[in-house]
Structure 1
């Protein structure tokens, strides 16, 4: 159980960082992180972090698939985590 919680925590930190990095690159007109990569981080447990990063850094908020998809995925992941832990 502790390993699962640690992995979930690490993936969410990674989600937050990857959204920050993509926003930084966007501002500098540099090579961007693929949207597929953002989605994969979210799908593998980082949806809460990517959603927080999206809101915190105001990044990808105009893209409907991110604006709706990340929060829905975050809710599903939190529910699944609680079901596994309880």
Structure 2
């Protein structure tokens, strides 16, 4: 993987992590929330590790079965996809 792609993935994951923290803050203060679709969009396009670490670190969305099982499944699918592409 080239350097630009690695930087883009790192940036996306940091952004996903920070967004999870912002949403947790907004939930605690009963403010306008970030949609769940946004988190799944970010996860599907490479930010899954950031979303998952944000869930664990901020203890956010941990009661939502869709997140508890969905985000790890996305990570697993991405690992399999990378392995298939690498060893094809």
Instruction: Give the TM bin, normalised by the shorter chain.
Output: 0.7 to 0.9
Normalising to structure 2: TM-score of the pair? 0.86
Find the counterpart in structure 1 of residue 78 from structure 2. Answer: 77
Q: Deviation of residue 5 (structure 1)?
A: 0.8
Q: Which has the larger radius of gyration?
A: 2
SS of corresponding position for 1:31:
coil
**Cα distance 1:45–1:33, how it changes in 2: closer, same or farther (>3 A)?**
same
SS of corresponding position for 1:29:
coil
Whether contact under 8 Å (1:16, 1:53) holds in the other structure is: yes
**Cα distance 1:9–1:82, how it changes in 2: closer, same or farther (>3 A)?**
farther
Aligned residue pair count:
86
Find the counterpart in structure 1 of residue 6 from structure 2. Answer: 5
Segments of structure 1 that go 5 or more residues without pairing to the other structure are none
Find the counterpart in structure 1 of residue 48 from structure 2. Answer: 47
Normalising to structure 1: TM-score of the pair? 0.87
